[in-house]
Structure formats: structure tokens, C-alpha cells
Structure 1
Amino acid sequence: MTAAGAAADVTEKPALLSEFCNKGCKTNANHYYSLPLSPSGPPHVFSLPSPPRRSPGRRAPALQAGLLLLPLLATTAVHAQVAEALNTIVVTGTRSEKTLDETPVPTEVVDQREIQRTQARTLKDALENVPGLQLTEIHGKSGFAVSMQGMTSDQVLVLIDGLPISASTGSSVDVSQYLLTEVDRIEVVKGASSAQYGSSAMGGVINVITRRIAPGWSAAGTADAGTYGAQNVGSPGAAHGNLRVSGGGEKWRASVAADVLDNKGFAVDPDAWTHQGDAIRREQYSGRLEWLPTPAGHFWVDASRYLETDTQQYEYFAPPSFVPQRKTEDITRDRFTYGGQWRFGNGVKARLAGVTEDYDSRSQEYSNAVPTATRAAALRTEHVSLQFDMPAWQRQLWQFGADVHRERLRQTANGVSEVAGNAERTANELFVQNDILFNDTWEMVLGLRAQDDSDFGTHYAPKIGLRANLPTGAAWKSVLRANFGQGYRVPNLKERHYLFDHSALGYVVLGNPNLKPESSNSFQFGGTATWNERLTLNANLFYNRVRDLIQTDMDNFTVVNGIARYTYRNVAQARTQGLETGARWQASSALAFNAGYTYTDSQDLDTGTELTRRPRSIARLGLDWQLQPATELSVRARYQSSELAASTSPARSPGWATLDFVLNQKIGRDVTAFLGVKNLTNRQRDFSNASDFGPVAGGFLYVGARISLDAAP
């Protein structure tokens, strides 16, 4: 039984099984999967009695029977691994539970096993191998943002258990700022999802699902350290450790976790002033309390604190010489979430969840060791979501809900406000969804969200998704999916109210209170085919048409007293289109391959030119090889083609490829040692070329160990 499954009593099985089958979901001979008590939680799994089996003929010797069964057991192991992936429960695409192969909305999943085998430490690490995702550095920050299908990072919504997380810039979420100790899995939905999640979900959604707490107790910890070799600034180049302890009984459960990542930075010339890799220390501490008064109810509170300290060292050219510059930044994010869910006797499920988050940043800039600017920012986010899922009625599953969202931005430089006007925003939203199961072949999901914004009035975002099970033979199973959705993004507080003064460097960036919201139409069409539960192929065509695209207009600026003034404008009508493909092959019980390729074509429809920072080709390749029962080798390769560096120049960033490997060695029952190399080919950008956006870090060698201890309740 899973951690979440332990929360439900097996006496619910007959009723839940009936409801589950009415929803068109499947069972197998050993388990059935019920709806979770939480849209963000993993599935409840209940064992069903296995059918009686006939014993083999009495005349067959035991050894002979065992030898005859070996090929069958190996094949069964292969089938079980692929079937497990296909039966993974996902919740993000429809805000309700579906198996991965039955969801109408294409979804990528990074599960806990993948996180552990690749030794991912941050959300950025975990997303590196998802096909089609592009990770780019946040300008002026020690972090990375994520984009997909040619849409910008501002247009991708990042959630933790279905609730928003603050953007480090007031615009894009830094996916390096979330450590993974408490993560169960990560779900990625591509294409407009505003009907489900509102503003900022134009390009897609990344939903981080945290672990639920199992009864009994468990403890797990990891320690590792690594080196950048000749580019080390400190020793070791980076060190990491985490610890999680959880436990409880049937009614009350609790967990605490801590995660620390200390990176000393790196430099092509460690003895020089300039460091290409910032020194960053990240810390994350959390605690969770759960109360399960009955099998039908589940309530929780969760509190976490994230701390970050960054140091950047670079040079600024002031003729006739280069002047040493340094910037330090201290970041604190305090996040408090709460919620509860209840299954009523009539089958209605209700869920209430909320978050209050304060993101504070204080930076200090130095020139030649002389303080030049002190900047302080405070972003507060509040979000409450209420959702009702109705019981199955006439092969329909209705869902109703409401969200209330508030955010506020404050920022000063040297004690002077850098925010013009009232940088606050409130949105009240209603959403409805109907999942219609016409028969065993056809399913359709209809959704609509009405959003009333304090500054931009009312907007409606519809969505329709269609799934069809194609006729299958003895070996093949195929599913087609088609989706249309309208995206919508309200200009963020930074874009409307920011006064970013870098006069010392010759420019300022001004917010524009007259910006209009971005909107889009998104089309997705594709399918998945599975052969003998060993080979899975998928393909998806996408087309996104964006209106009133917001960006900093580099071609239109004014000069006042020698200072260039840039501002945000609705400057473009744009489209992105392309093809996403993927394959998963379980070659044997010990060897598995994964591959993905995404082709993206983007265009500014106003000028007919290519959009910047959108590579045409992104490819991923993975191999997992069980060398011995206790030894596993994982290899991950990434490729990204060239991309246009700027709209005012034909310069392109060159394409690049990297290769990572990790060797995991099980030692006894509880300990796993690991050795890994990131960027084995040592592909690193040319830092003298401002148009080279290749990998920042070169090769990184690390070693560590993980220990996991569990006790039954």
C-alpha cells in the first residue's frame, strides 16, 4: 500500500471500485486504483485477492519447473516496469485523477525513482531530461527559468501541490530555488492550461507533487560532494546533504526535512577576479502535520523556509580599464500551506487548499569594493482554491471550483522606491469542468474559467480535450488525443510598475501601466502507441498563436541625459509550432531506453522574423542498465541546436550537447552509494562570446551515499 493508500480504509473498496469503474478506469488482477483524497496526492492502491492458481503437474521436478519459468519471469518483469509507467496516476491536466495512458491531456512525469537514479538535487536538475523543456539563465540572477513549446518562462506556471510559488524576479520562477527532499513526482503539462489554472498557464504547467506521510516511521538522508576540477574556486566545488524523518499512526502523522546545497562557484581562471559560476548556498527546511480523522477525511498544514546566499563577481569595462564588480544577494522564502479534503456520503469530494508565501530579497552591489547600490524587494503571494468533484452521473464527471489570488510587490534601491503606483493585484476566479465518457472508446473533457481581475476586468478561458482508444490487436494499444485551449496572462507587477535604474551602466527599464494582457490559442494533436507493454511511442503536434506578446522592446527607446530608457510593450503577434516525439523501450528486464525529440518553429508575425532564444531542435536520450542486481548505470544525453541571440543581430548561439552518467551501487538493504559525472564531454560556453548561451558549467564529478530506513506501523 502506498503512503496515501494507507490513509483510506479497505472497507471503502466496494463503493470506490464501483465509482472507479464507472469513470472508465481500469483494474488489473492484483490492484485497483481509487481516486485520491487529494488532487495533488498519489493514488490509493488496494490489493485485490488473486485468483486461485492451479499447481503444476506433480510429475514435474521443482528444478525443471523453475528453469522453465525463468524466461516467463524475465518477461513479466519487463511488462511490469512498462505497465507501472503507463499506470502512473497524474492529476495536473484535468485537476482530477487519471492514469498516464488514459489522460486526455499529454503529460510528462518525473517520478521519485528518476530523481534518485539521476541524483537530482534541485527542480532544475529534475527537469533537465524532460523532452522539449528549455532551461535558460535568469538575467542578473543566480538561477534558471524554464520554457516549453517556444513559449517564454513567464508563460509557464510552476505549482507546488497545485498552489503557485513566487517568481524570483516578480516574473519568472527560478526552478533552481526548490530542493527535492520532499518531492514525490513532477508533472509537466504542455500547452495552454488557463482553463484549469488561470493566468500564467499559457505555455503549460509544472506541478511539483510532494510526498504524503505513511504510518509507522521512516528516515532518509543523503550526503555528497563534487568538484569542477581545475575550475574549482573552493574545495570541494559543491557539497550537498539532506535529511527527512516522518511517521505517525492512523490518525496523526508528521514529517520534518532539511536540505542544504553549498556551491563554492567556479571560474575558467580561478585566480582571476571574474567567476563564471556564482557562489551559492541554498537551504530548505520544512515540516508537515497531517490529521486523518476518518477514512473519508484528510487535513494538513505545511510550513517551509528557503534561504539563499549568492555572490557574483564580474568586471565592467570603463575605458580604459576593467573595473571589478561584486554583487551579493540574500533571499528568504517563507511558505505556509494548509488544506483539507472530505468525501461525503453521497460521493461528493470537496477540497480546500491555500498558501501564503513571502519572498524577500536584499542585494548589495560593489564597484572596486565600494558599495554602490542596496536593493530590497518583498513579494507576497496569497492563494486559496476550493474544488468540488461530483460523483459519476450519466457517464459524466462534473467539477466545480473557485480560486482567489492576491499578490503585492515592494522594492527599493538605496531607500528609494523602485515601484511606481500601487503594485498590487487581486483575481477572483470560477472554473467548471465536465469529463464525459461516451463509451469505452471516446472521452471528452470540457472546461471553462472566468477570471475577474482587479486591474483588467473579466476574461473567459475555455478548453476542450478529446481522447480516443483506437482498435487494438493482441500486441498493440493506441490512444489519440486532441486539445484546444485559450491561454491568458495578466502583465505581472514588475512589467507594469518596475523602475529598474541602472544609470551607472547607461540604461533604465521602466514598467508600463498601460500594458494589455497576453492571450493565445493553443492546439495539440497526437497520440501514444504501446507494443507488448515493452515499447511505447508518442508524438504530438502543437500550434500556439500569441497576441499582444509582452517583452522589453530593444528597438524602441529614448535617450535622456545620455541614459537609454527601455520599457515593456505589447510589441508582437507571434506563433510557435512544431512536433514533439518520444520513445520508451524496455529492451530486457535489465535494460531500458528513453528518447525524445522536439522541433520548434517560431515567428514574430509582425516582422516575419524568428523569435529569439528558441532553438529549433531539442533532443534527450536516456539509458538505464541494471548491470548487477545491486548495480545500476544511468546515462542521460542532451542536445540543443543553435538559437537566435538577439532580434537586432543575425548572431546565433551555437548548438551544444552534454552527457551525464550516474552509477548507483546498493550496499545492503538500506544504503546506496553513487558516483556520477555531469557534462562528461566538458562542453562549456565561450565566455568571450556574448551570443554563446551554451552550458555555463563544465564537467562536474561527484560522489555520495543515500540511506533509507523504514519501519512498519
Structure 2
Amino acid sequence: MAAAAVQAQEVTALNTVVVTGTRSEKTLDETPVPTDVVDRREMQRTQARTLKDALENVPGLQLTEIHGKSGFQVSLQGMTSDQVLVLIDGLPISASTGSSVDVSQYLLTEVERIEVVKGASSAQYGSSAMGGVINVITRRIAPGLSAEATADVGTYGGQNVGSPGNAHGNVRVGGGSQQWRASVAADVLDNKGFAVDPDAWSRQGDAIRREQYSGRLEWLPTPAGQFWLDASRYRETDTQRYTYFAPPTYVPQRKTEDITRDRLAYGGQWRFGNGVKTRLAGVTEDYDSATREYSNAVGTARRNSSQRTEHVSLQVDLPAWQRQLWQFGADVHRERLRQNANGISELARSAERTSHELFLQNDILFNDTWEMVLGLRAQDDSDFGTHYAPKIGLRANLPTGDAWKTVLRANFGQGYRVPNLKERHYLFDHSALGYVVLGNPNLKPESSNSFQFGGTATWNERLSLSANLFHNRVRDLIQTDTENFEVVNGIAAYTYRNVSRARTQGLETGARWQASSVLALNAGYTFTDTEDLNTGQELTRRPRSIARVGFDWQLQPATELSVRARYQSSELAASTSPERSPGWATLDFVVNQKLGRDVTAFFGVKNLTNRQRDFSNASDFGPVAGRFLYLGARISLDAVR
């Protein structure tokens, strides 16, 4: 039974249906666009709680802290987090700061799988998809009645500042008839924080409480159509504690942030009798945060930020004609930002933008060997006018015999990113610390050319080897210009500028091996070479080597051991000095034990080697948290009809 189950999982992984790369359904080995998938089985096996946890083992993906925030952002192929678009069911999610999405702010109870597409995807998804796309696919509802719940607790050992150090729980109930279905879910993650010295005031790990509640309603009037409404609320409370040196003493400082994200997604799709398929989907999301700063328990500053995102997307897929699959559609996007500090607006003027976009794609199946995808998007932005982004992808099935199956892929795409509202209009006043950051309304959009070439070879559905060469060239890269600033009344005034051109290139490799009926191994290695083409210098915060290794071992029919190891090489800490953040490696493991048909108990350790950054070294960007032990249980009741 165990052997059959493991083999079935391997075949299922190879035949996973993905939708992000071409906005149409294709199996993973047939998509012409390089794609990685994190499925629900992997999330449960590794006991991932947030989107950040789920992405930790994706080859070549880098997770970095958001400056001044209690969260993490992602980069791909040396492209920054601002240049990677994060979606939920193909619709955008609000960024917590700038245009970077905090991937810690999405809990996984309602997630079915995560698709990671690498390389410029602006032709498919528009602005911010220069470096790739991360698309979170939520769970559909099965008829009947099903339920599941998870509870777990964890500890940072001697670094705990509360007991337990971390507590987590979620519950989901769903079901219905063939035509009407509904689900509700709740997920709460309470982290008390941690400190190298728990008796001291400062905490290296912030105290964070995250709550996510959601409900979904589906109507399937016929097998040809369905409609849905999905509402969710996310709440977060953060507390940061640190000290500020005011000679001759260190003054205790505290910063709190309360975040609320209300998201309403809706849509429907219908397949007509002539084979035409239409999909209309939209989202309205409000993201609000309130920040308070205290010095010696005395309030010193308060900041309120309010963002609204509205997005509607129409897509039409035509039936096959002359071995061609035509697709076209339109997107309307609107966003607004309001922000004030101590009751005074921090925006130079009203911060709003609207964009109207049209896209067209043709998937040409020449024969059983060759396939080509052509795509084009036209965007008319309220502030930046019209821009066009093309893309071409080629896939070839090589005739390699009965045992081996080999697929080659080549892609070229142009990417672009419209400057976000903060970069253009924000007035970030830190005069007390000697500087301010000013938005620049004259910024130009970033643009890029992205080349991808690689392939996958599979042997008897048991061994899979992949490699992908990539080359990305960025123009008008936006960053804070630290070399040019003005000093007014002793305060340094920095601003955003289009200051440089950049190149990132390298090689991604991966392997998956079903060594036996009870043992599966996987590995990935990414080499990245970067350069600021204006200065010839290496780009900051881009490690040259990232490696992932893992295995899943069915010790007994009801017992599974999963191990995940990560390595990241050194990285340049700042462009103004040769200081480098040292390389690091971590090791995680988890044991999942089935207790009957419906209950699974688990025990795990994250960062077993206890590799933790040197907090006295400002150039050390290694892991923040040290060793973390946890245990818990999950109960799953399959749909009863």
C-alpha cells in the first residue's frame, strides 16, 4: 500500500495541471514556460503555515526581510521583489510596502497549490511581472461535507519571550450539493517573538499575531459553467522592541503596527456549446495599517496608511482551429494610496493610477513535437501612456525512446514595471535620524528583456532532471540614489531615480528521483551572476549560489520522515563598501505519523543546526530565527455525500 501511494504521488506530480504560464490549463511537463509547483501534499508534509514557509524550498527563489517590517519578500533570478508579481487565483494582492508583497501575510488553509513562473511575464500579467509570477491557487469545494483542523505549538528554546513561543491553529469546513457549495475557514498564528537575551528589552524576533478568516460560495448551474464569491479578512498585530543610543544611555523604543486586509473576489466562467470559454473575474481589496512609535513608553509618532486595489479581468479562449488555440482578453486596474504621519499627509499629491490593458495569445501546435506560444499585451496607463510587451515561447518534445521523455523550452519576453505610488509621491520624514526620502513624480517605468532556455528529461516517471539558462537585462532600474542627495538644514534628502542598467544571468538545475517505493529525493541548484552595467559592480543582496536538497522516506506504512536542507552563499551587503553577508545553511526535518485514517500527528525542527545571524554585524543577513521545535496534529474528514 505504501509503495503504491508513493508511486501514485510521483506520477501525479508530473501530470499536475498548471495555468499560470499561458493562462490556460496544461500539464506541468507540457507547459512551454518554466514552472515550479508547490502542491498541498508538500505543504502538509513540511507543515508550512504561511506562504513564506511554502516557498522556502523552491529552487532559486530567495526570501529576504522587508526593511523595517515584520515580514519577508521574494526575488527570482536576481530580480528584486518589486519585479515579481504575486497573485491569488490570477488576481493581484496588495503590497505591504512599496510594490513588494509580504509573503508572510498569507496563511495556507485555503491554498491548493502555488505556481512559480520564472522570467518576464508582462505579456500575460502586465506591470510588475518582470522577474516572474507567483500564483496562489485556492481550493475548490467538493460536494458532500468535509472538514479539517490543525493545532500545533512550538518553542525557540532559551530564546523564548513567552510561553509557548508559537501557537497555531486552523479549521476549514466545506461542502454542498452538485449545484451549490460553500466553505468557511479560520487560521490563527500567534508568535510571542524571541530574543538572544530574553531578559533584555530588545527583541530580535517581533511579536506577531496573524489571523485570516474566509468564506467562499460557489454556484454550478450546469457542468458548463460556475460562479463564485470569495471574501476574506486578514488581521495582523506586530510589536517591535529595540533601543536607540542617546549618549550616554540606550533608550527603549517600541513600535506597533495593526494591519487589516479585506478582500472580495468574484467571478464566473462558462463554456459555450461551440467550444468558446469565457472567464470574468475581479477583486476589490483594502489594505490598512496604523503604526505607532514610542520612546520610553511616550508616544512619538503615528502613521496611517490606506491602500485600495480594484482589478477586473476578462478572458476568452477560442476552440482549437487549424491546430491553434487563440486567447484574448482585457484587464482594468485601479489603485489608490492615502498616507499620513501625525495627521499630516506624506504624499506630495493625490496618489492614484488607472490602467486599461488588452492581451492576445496564440498557442500553435505544429505537430506532436513542436509548440509555439505568441503573446502581446498593450497597456494604457493613466500616468505613463501606452506600452507594449511581447512574448514568444517554444516547446519541443524530443523522440528519446520508450523509457526517456525529453522536453526543451525556449522563451523570450519583455517585462515592464510602472513606478509604484510610493516611489513617485511618498514623503518619508525621518528628520530625527538625519534624513528624508522624497518621491519622484518624474520616474520612468522599468523595462527588461528576459531570455530562458532549458529542458526536462524524465525516465520511467521515476527520475526527472531539469536545467534552465536565464539572462535578464533591465533598463531604467529604480532605486534610492545614495550617491546624490541634498543637505537642507542638516537633513540629507534622498530621492528615487532611474539610475542604472542591470544584468542578471545564470543557471537553474533540478533533480527528482523516486529511489525506491518508499524513498523520494529532490535537489535544486541555482547559480546567479549579476552586474550593474553602469558601474560594473555586482548587485547587492544577490547570492551567487542557492541550493536545496530534500528527501521523503516512508519509514513505516503510517510514518513518514521529510528532510529539507538549504544553502545560500555570501552576498554583497551594500554598494558603498566591500562588506559581504556570510553564507549560511539550515536543515529542517519533520515526522508525520498517521493515527488511524483521519488523524496525523507531527513533530519537527526548523533550523536544526541553529544557524543564526550575528545581530551585532549589520552586514549579516543570515537566518533571523534559531532552532525552532514544534509538535501538533491534524484531523481531516473526507467529503461525505
The TM-score normalised by the length of structure 1 is: 0.89
SS at match of 1:383: strand
Q: Paired residue for 1:524, among 452, 471, 476?
A: 452
Cα distance in 1 for residues equivalent to 2:435 and 2:325:
55
Amino acid at match of 1:453: D
Write the deviation string for residues 427-476 of structure 1: whole angstroms up to 9, x where unpaired.
00000000000000000000000000000000000000000001121211
Shift, 1:315, TM fit = 1.0
Residue number in structure 1 paired with 2:23: 95
Please tell me whether residue 691 in structure 1 is matched to residue 619 in structure 2.
yes
Please tell me whether residue 222 in structure 1 is matched to residue 150 in structure 2.
yes
Residue number in structure 1 paired with 2:379: 451
Shift, 1:712, TM fit = 2.8
Q: Paired residue for 1:581, among 506, 509, 513?
A: 509
Q: Paired residue for 2:183, among 255, 278, 290?
A: 255
Write the deviation string for residues 85-110 of structure 1: whole angstroms up to 9, x where unpaired.
11000000000000000000010000
Amino acid at match of 2:225: G
Cα distance in 2 for residues equivalent to 1:389 and 1:474:
34
Cα distance in 1 for residues equivalent to 2:285 and 2:301:
26
Residue number in structure 2 paired with 1:681: 609
SS at match of 2:145: strand
Amino acid at match of 2:80: T
Please tell me whether residue 154 in structure 1 is matched to residue 154 in structure 2.
no
Residue number in structure 1 paired with 2:263: 335
Write the deviation string for residues 655-690 of structure 1: whole angstroms up to 9, x where unpaired.
000000000000001100000000000000000000
Residue number in structure 2 paired with 1:243: 171
Shift, 1:417, TM fit = 0.2
Please tell me whether residue 629 in structure 1 is matched to residue 557 in structure 2.
yes
Residue number in structure 1 paired with 2:357: 429
My pick for the range that moved more, 283-292 or 502-511, is 502-511
Q: Paired residue for 1:201, among 120, 124, 129?
A: 129
Amino acid at match of 2:517: S
Write the deviation string for residues 464-506 of structure 1: whole angstroms up to 9, x where unpaired.
0000001121211100000000000000001000001111111
Shift, 1:711, TM fit = 3.5
The answer as to whether partners of 1:179 and 1:284 remain within 8 angstroms in 2 is yes
Cα distance in 2 for residues equivalent to 1:512 and 1:318:
33
Residue number in structure 2 paired with 1:670: 598
Q: Paired residue for 1:506, among 420, 424, 434?
A: 434
Shift, 1:653, TM fit = 0.1
Amino acid at match of 2:546: I
Residue number in structure 1 paired with 2:320: 392
Amino acid at match of 1:678: K
Amino acid at match of 1:288: R
Shift, 1:82, TM fit = 2.6
Please tell me whether residue 284 in structure 1 is matched to residue 222 in structure 2.
no
Please tell me whether residue 326 in structure 1 is matched to residue 254 in structure 2.
yes
Cα distance in 2 for residues equivalent to 1:711 and 1:222:
17
Shift, 1:180, TM fit = 0.2
Q: Give the strand-richer structure, 1 or 2.
A: 2
Shift, 1:80, TM fit = 3.4
Amino acid at match of 2:551: L
Residue number in structure 1 paired with 2:100: 172
Cα distance in 1 for residues equivalent to 2:93 and 2:605:
31
Q: How does 1:36-435 map to 2 (within 5 A)?
A: 79-435=7-363
Write the deviation string for residues 384-437 of structure 1: whole angstroms up to 9, x where unpaired.
000000000000000010000000000000000001112000000000000000
Write the deviation string for residues 526-553 of structure 1: whole angstroms up to 9, x where unpaired.
0000112111000000000000000111
Cα distance in 2 for residues equivalent to 1:77 and 1:119:
20
Cα distance in 2 for residues equivalent to 1:367 and 1:612:
33
Unaligned runs of 5+ in 2: none
Shift, 1:78, TM fit = 5.9
The answer as to whether partners of 2:287 and 2:306 remain within 8 angstroms in 1 is yes
Shift, 1:79, TM fit = 4.9
Amino acid at match of 1:672: T
SS at match of 1:305: strand
The answer as to whether partners of 1:78 and 1:534 remain within 8 angstroms in 2 is no
Cα distance in 1 for residues equivalent to 2:342 and 2:459:
64
SS at match of 1:83: helix
The answer as to whether partners of 1:190 and 1:205 remain within 8 angstroms in 2 is yes
Cα distance in 2 for residues equivalent to 1:474 and 1:591:
24
Amino acid at match of 2:393: G
The answer as to whether partners of 1:170 and 1:379 remain within 8 angstroms in 2 is no
The answer as to whether partners of 1:158 and 1:207 remain within 8 angstroms in 2 is yes
Amino acid at match of 1:579: L
The answer as to whether partners of 1:429 and 1:452 remain within 8 angstroms in 2 is yes
SS at match of 1:646: coil
Larger Rg computed on CA atoms: 1
Cα distance in 1 for residues equivalent to 2:340 and 2:620:
33
Q: Paired residue for 2:538, among 610, 621, 646?
A: 610
The answer as to whether partners of 2:143 and 2:639 remain within 8 angstroms in 1 is no
The answer as to whether partners of 2:175 and 2:639 remain within 8 angstroms in 1 is no
The TM-score normalised by the length of structure 2 is: 0.99
Cα distance in 1 for residues equivalent to 2:223 and 2:170:
32
Shift, 1:621, TM fit = 0.5
Shift, 1:370, TM fit = 1.2
Cα distance in 1 for residues equivalent to 2:350 and 2:593:
56
The answer as to whether partners of 1:78 and 1:588 remain within 8 angstroms in 2 is no
Change (3 A) 1:475 1:78: farther
The answer as to whether partners of 2:602 and 2:632 remain within 8 angstroms in 1 is yes
Cα distance in 1 for residues equivalent to 2:315 and 2:350:
31
SS at match of 1:214: coil
Amino acid at match of 2:625: A
SS at match of 1:292: strand
Q: How does 1:552-563 map to 2 (within 5 A)?
A: 552-563=480-491
Residue number in structure 2 paired with 1:17: none
SS at match of 1:650: coil
Please tell me whether residue 479 in structure 1 is matched to residue 407 in structure 2.
yes
The answer as to whether partners of 1:615 and 1:643 remain within 8 angstroms in 2 is yes
The answer as to whether partners of 1:328 and 1:363 remain within 8 angstroms in 2 is yes
SS at match of 1:124: helix
